[in-house]
Amino acid sequence: MTRVTRFEDRVMPHLDAAYNLARWLTRNDDDAQDVVQEAFVRAFRFFDSLRDANARPWVLAIVRNAAYSWMEKNRPAEIVPIDDAGLIDADQESIGHAAPAESNPEVILLQSANRKLVNQSLEELPVALREVLVMRELEDLSYKEIAEIADIPIGTVMSRLSRGRAMLRATIETRMRKAG
Amino acid sequence: MTLRTPTPEEPFIARDATYHKAPEALRVRVQSAVAREGRARVVHVGRRTLAWGLAFATVAAVSWNLGAMRGRDAAQDIVTHDVLSAHLRSVMTTGRLVDVPSTDRHEVKPWFAGRVDFAPAVPDLAARGFILVGGRLDVVDGRTVAAVTYRYRLHVVNVFERPAKDGDQPPQSMSRQGYNIVHWSRDGIERWAVSDLAAGELAAIAE
């Protein structure tokens, strides 16, 4: 089996996941395609470093790096540093106030939110929160995998997830109130 | 206020947010970019291996020349030596493996028209695992020959062609300085295939 066919066997099945992540990071079809192509060529060069590890988080980490390089060059303003230190208290507070899901009007409100509203609101989130939400909810990656891909501690993954969810809910509600 | 560990997962993101699947065009783009990178790597690895090989080769060539040149086949040995030197040159000189890079024999074959005074065969050997890389001109035994380059897995294979002086000759395998060479003449063309590929695998090119 040649290196190319081994790469096609192990890495190419994750092209959808790669594109989905790149698309949510760059928020643009063409840029996402460029990022993915560059990332996969890079992945092929460093294919030996994969060894027996799971190819999906491995290649997604490369895609994420390529996307961030692209953003640094083309849209530096979008890379907003996140203050993780002050997050946990605020998150726990907001979770603590949440009522049970079934009777929560907020959930009913969210359920009626259409795809467009969710997509737009998710795109507006700071990239550091957006990416953990995409990896967790759309790619179904574990906290540990997300921590490895984004190169942050697992605790930070969890706090960014809840902060991201809260912020997303707030954005959707604001938009719905404006619309309604 | 009860503190809970994150996170009760509201399903609305997974349900409502778009999962962007890779467009088919991207799949094609990525596959060809990787294949291109794979070919570049073949040449690169080949060069690196051969760079080390040449350190030994230079030493070996001296003793080999002293011994073999006295024999009855001295003339043939000089040609063989030229062929091997041409092969080593091609894989060591950056950017000069081929002058006409193409996997399509219908591009490589016409390129030789007007450059050599015969029509090289440039056979399609993909079915046997030899993937065409391209063609270039080289010099063997004081005259211009056609060099057709293939890759076989990670190995570079050069096939040197010139008009045959004698009739058909069956394939003959030989080994020089760790490289394998197959020599044969057919249909008026004399050929040498040279590579660091194993002798048994290289022999398939002359079938």
Do A170 and A142 sit in the same domain of this protein? yes
pLDDT the model gives residue B59:
54
The CATH number for A149's domain is 1.10.10.10
Do A169 and A91 sit in the same domain of this protein? yes
pTM passes above 0.90: no
Do A99 and A121 sit in the same domain of this protein? yes
B10 and A110 within 8 Å at the Cβ level: the answer is: yes
Q: List residues bridging with B156 in a β-sheet.
A: B151
Chain B residue with minimum CA distance to A130: B13
Residue A133 contacts B, CB cutoff 8 Å = yes
Query: How many independent structural domains does chain A possess?
Result: 2
Task: Provide mean pLDDT across the span B88-105.
Answer: 78
Tokens of A122: 């998710």
Give yes or no for residue A136 having a pLDDT over 60: yes
* Burial (CB count <10 Å: 0-12, 13-18, 19+), residue B173: middle
Number of A/B CB contacts below 8 angstroms equals 119
B28-73 pLDDT, tens digit each:
899 989 988 888 776 666 666 666 666 666 555 555 555 544 444 5
Do A51 and A135 sit in the same domain of this protein? no
> A44 lies in which domain range?
3-78
A120-129 pLDDT, tens digit each:
999 999 999 9
Give the residue from A39, A59, A78 where a domain finishes.
A78
**Which residues does chain B have within 8 Å of residue A40's beta carbon, measured at their own beta carbons?**
30, 33-34
* Burial (CB count <10 Å: 0-12, 13-18, 19+), residue A144: exposed
Structure letter (DSSP) for residue B113: B
Tokens of B95: 């950017």
Do A43 and A105 sit in the same domain of this protein? no
Taking a C-beta distance cutoff of 8 angstroms, is the pair B91, B121 a contact? no
The CATH number for A28's domain is 1.10.1740
